[in-house]
Amino acid sequence: MKKQFAIAASVMALAATPLLADMHEDAEHEFPLTMDEFMEAYPEVAPEQFMLIDTDGDGQVSEEEYDSAREAGIIGGEDDI
Ligand SMILES: [Ca+2]
């Protein structure tokens, strides 16, 4: 009985791993981010700050804009999330 539970737990852990990896990728590393996606990832960022980050004004945050915003200190590093 105990062994069956352990096997079931292992299978569930294996099945859950790709799902968690996808969610992580969507949240932090898929560029460009729409304003909604960005605000979800960085709820502390005000809409006015989003306009500073979206320097070309297309309503999305590209990887370059994200890197610039981090360098400018508008958003924190990944350690702060
Ligand atoms: Ca942009």
Distance 63 CA to ligand 1 centre (A): 9
Judge contact between 48 and 22, C-beta under 8 A.
Answer: no
Distance 51 CA to ligand 1 centre (A): 9
Judge contact between 32 and 61, C-beta under 8 A.
Answer: yes
Distance CA 16, CA 9 (A): 10
Distance 13 CA to ligand 1 centre (A): 38
- Give the E-state strand segments of the chain in sequence order: 33-34, 60-61
What digits encode the pLDDT tens for the residues 22-76?
544 444 558 999 999 999 989 999 999 999 999 999 999 999 999 999 999 999 8
Which are the contacts of 28, defined by CB distance < 8 A and separation ≥ 6?
A: 41, 78, 81
